[in-house]
Amino acid sequence: MMIPVLVQSMIDPTRDIAQARLRVLLTTDLHMRLGSYNYFTGQEDPGAGLFYLAPRIEAARAAVDASLLLDGGDFLQGTPLADEIAAMGTLPHPMIAAFNHLRYDAVTLGNHEFEYGLDYLQKVIDDCHAPVVSTNVRTGPTDSFVAPWALIKRSVACSDRQTRDLTIGIIGFAPPQITEWSADILNGVLHIEDAISAALTHIPQVRRAGADIVIALCHGGPDTTTHRTRMENPASALAGLQGIDVVLMGHLHRTFPGPEFAHMPGTDCVRGTIHGTPAMMPSCHGKAFGQMDLSLTLDGGGNWAVADHTVQMIGAEKGLTVGASDMARALMPQLAAPHAATVKRLAEPICDTPIALTSYFAAIGRDETADLLARVQADVIRNHLRGTPFADLPVLSSTAPFAAGGHGGPTNYLNIQPGPVRLRDCTAMAPFDNPVCAVLQRGWQIRAWLERSAAYFNRLEPGQADQPLVSGHIASYHFDTIHGLEYVIDLQCDAQAAPLLSFEKGRIRDLTLNGQRLNDDTLVVVATNAYRARGGGYLVTADENDIVHTSRKGLRELLITALTLGQVTPRSPRRVWRFAPMPGASVLFGSSPRAKALAHHIPGLTALDITTDGFAQFRLAL
């Protein structure tokens, strides 16, 4: 007679006894983009918005037996419509209503969720049917702002023809810098722990609670550096932790897997893994969602594992109309009033400009909008430093182009023609209304700042034609220009890593202030946004004590006030920086097709053909 307990003891616990499949769908960085209307340009922007993804999300879920739909954060803020909805106090919030309509399974918080304050955020997420998780956001030493993790159960059909329960643990991580970027709003009531520290605390809890696999929703991307405390982009470090089976990323507005991350150690930009862990990131603004199909195995000990996976990015069908979405038809009535109010408000004229203000050629140091923003920032800081020990220091101003193509596509450029400057133009120039900070910097810190920014460009070979100018590894909003200086960028040199101790082989040459060499010990004040001043993008080396002033108002509001009162007026700016001459060499870069008509105004620039992704190609002789 066979004894059951002896039979059980003969089972090899390491041998797979069944396989199953789970489909994971991800949206991230929606930034309140439901429809396709672009409030910055006043035109429709086809191919973006959750309304247009909804039918394909529903189809992707219907095609499999077991699936999860998740969001990686930054869904609440990012368009003028979001500001209008917050001002009107519309509840339930339309984005939450959309999440509920599509039956999201879990959502995590990004940095921009907090920009309307904690009270508003709490009211908004109270209406979310899906659990909202954030593992590292706390209101006290042991008190979480929202649930640190959640368990989701699915029934999965297995290869041995049995149906089994699968429990998925969901954890989520926000950038620790939120409390610094939004210090004026959060007022010390929030603490955000280092992601790895929080993960090491909570992964065992999730596992003990019954999670068979754990998915990390990281509102941050991979980073080339090894882990350091309070990383803004900790996805690589999370992927290396035991107990995390999948890492889903956001925050960078980029796509993974993809070639732009090929330079990062530990990444497989074809299969979509970081340190062997499945990972994906589906761009932003509802242009696409990520679909990851997991192949799971169950061993004789009852342990599930991810054996294989595939990743793809799925965008809206071309020609899809908003009426094709049941969700859009349900939510459009709720959006009608705030949409109309937003469009009317943004059409208000602020001032006139005698010249065109464009960002078409920001990649080669020509951006009229940057000059305008720089002067507003510098004026604000000079006024606040009067009567202080810093009043006599030179005031510089840093800017970076938000609308400079990239993942925003060939329409992602500023194009304000001579005539009225409207409120929507100011919003486009300053899409995030961050406070302005005065940061003390020494000459060596300025040089290091510019060296890191210059990593935006590829290294070039002398005498070689048609080399790609932009590396693609760094977003345009991390390419800073520091106004008030003049300098040369020498692209024959390698990009420098931080921190820099020697600048002998650096890219930044002939760095001058008021026509004089900027010495390493020269003390200056730089006007910059709060995000950059407190470490956003890892460009600035500054102690908290070096931030000697932070404005109460954001840059957008300050810009509108300055233009309305005539405190600054648009002008043709003086060049801040130039590329070092390189005889026989030329570079290629992309811009808007509309920029082709302006190419003849710039020496050495030639307009070429339109590429398959819709950008106009330009050649610049160095």
pLDDT score for 1: 35
pLDDT score for 475: 87
pLDDT-derived band at 322, boundaries 50, 70, 90: low
Percent of the chain topping pLDDT 90? 80
pLDDT score for 9: 39
Report the distance separating Cα 581 and Cα 479, nearest Å.
21
* 554 in the same domain as 599: yes
Task: Give the pLDDT mean for 377-401.
Answer: 97
* 112 in the same domain as 52: yes
pLDDT score for 2: 36
* 390 in the same domain as 296: no
User: CA 282: distance to chain centroid?
Assistant: 11
Task: Give the pLDDT mean for 320-344.
Answer: 86
Per-residue pLDDT for 3 more than 50? Answer: no
**Contact yes or no for 511/406 (Cβ under 8 A):** no
* 357 in the same domain as 505: yes
**Last residue in a domain, options 339, 373, 402:** 339
Q: Tell me whether residue 8 is in a domain.
A: yes
Q: Tell me whether residue 404 is in a domain.
A: yes
Helices vs. strands in the chain: H and E counts, helices first: 15, 35
**Contact yes or no for 479/367 (Cβ under 8 A):** no
pLDDT digits (tens, 9 = 90+) for 228-241: 888 999 999 999 99
Q: Tell me whether residue 140 is in a domain.
A: yes
pLDDT score for 13: 64
Report the distance separating Cα 350 and Cα 346, nearest Å.
10
**Backbone torsions φ then ψ of 59, nearest 5 degrees:** -65, -40
**Last residue in a domain, options 319, 339, 359:** 339
| C-alpha distance from residue 254 to each of 48, 267, 284, 398, 465 (Å) | 14, 15, 7, 24, 29
Report the distance separating Cα 124 and Cα 115, nearest Å.
13
pLDDT-derived band at 17, boundaries 50, 70, 90: confident
Q: Where are the beta strands (DSSP E) in 174-282?
A: 191-192, 213-218, 246-249, 255-256, 267-268, 273-274, 277-282
* 406 in the same domain as 307: no
Number of domains composing the chain: 2
Per-residue pLDDT for 420 more than 80? Answer: yes
pLDDT digits (tens, 9 = 90+) for 485-510: 999 999 999 987 554 555 567 999 99
**Both ends of the chain: CA-CA distance in Å?**
88
CATH number at residue 365: 3.90.780.10
Per-residue pLDDT for 147 more than 60? Answer: yes
Q: Tell me whether residue 157 is in a domain.
A: yes
* 499 in the same domain as 462: yes
Report the distance separating Cα 393 and Cα 527, nearest Å.
12
CATH number at residue 273: 3.60.21.10
Q: Tell me whether residue 586 is in a domain.
A: yes
Percent of the chain topping pLDDT 70? 95
**Backbone torsions φ then ψ of 296, nearest 5 degrees:** -110, 145
| C-alpha distance from residue 438 to each of 3, 220, 233, 346 (Å) | 78, 27, 25, 29
pLDDT score for 181: 82
pLDDT digits (tens, 9 = 90+) for 456-485: 999 999 999 999 999 988 889 999 999 999
* 316 in the same domain as 448: no
Report the distance separating Cα 25 and Cα 314, nearest Å.
10
At which residue do the structure tokens 């109460």 appear? 552
Report the distance separating Cα 285 and Cα 558, nearest Å.
26
* 397 in the same domain as 327: no
Six-digit token string for 590: 């992309």
Q: Tell me whether residue 239 is in a domain.
A: yes
Hey, how many other C-beta atoms are within 10 angstroms of the C-beta on 153? 10
Per-residue pLDDT for 153 more than 60? Answer: yes
Per-residue pLDDT for 581 more than 90? Answer: yes
Per-residue pLDDT for 342 more than 90? Answer: yes
Per-residue pLDDT for 272 more than 70? Answer: yes
**Last residue in a domain, options 339, 360, 382:** 339
pLDDT-derived band at 43, boundaries 50, 70, 90: confident
* 22 in the same domain as 160: yes
pLDDT digits (tens, 9 = 90+) for 81-139: 999 999 999 899 999 999 999 999 999 999 999 999 999 999 999 999 999 999 999 99
* 88 in the same domain as 134: yes
Q: Residue 363: which residues within 8 A CB-CB, separation 6 or more?
A: 404, 469, 470, 476, 479, 589, 591
Domain range for 451 is 349-621
Per-residue pLDDT for 72 more than 50? Answer: yes
pLDDT score for 8: 40
* 391 in the same domain as 306: no
* 120 in the same domain as 75: yes
pLDDT score for 11: 47
pLDDT score for 161: 94
pTM: 0.88
Q: Tell me whether residue 344 is in a domain.
A: no
pLDDT score for 377: 98
pLDDT score for 15: 78
Q: Tell me whether residue 60 is in a domain.
A: yes
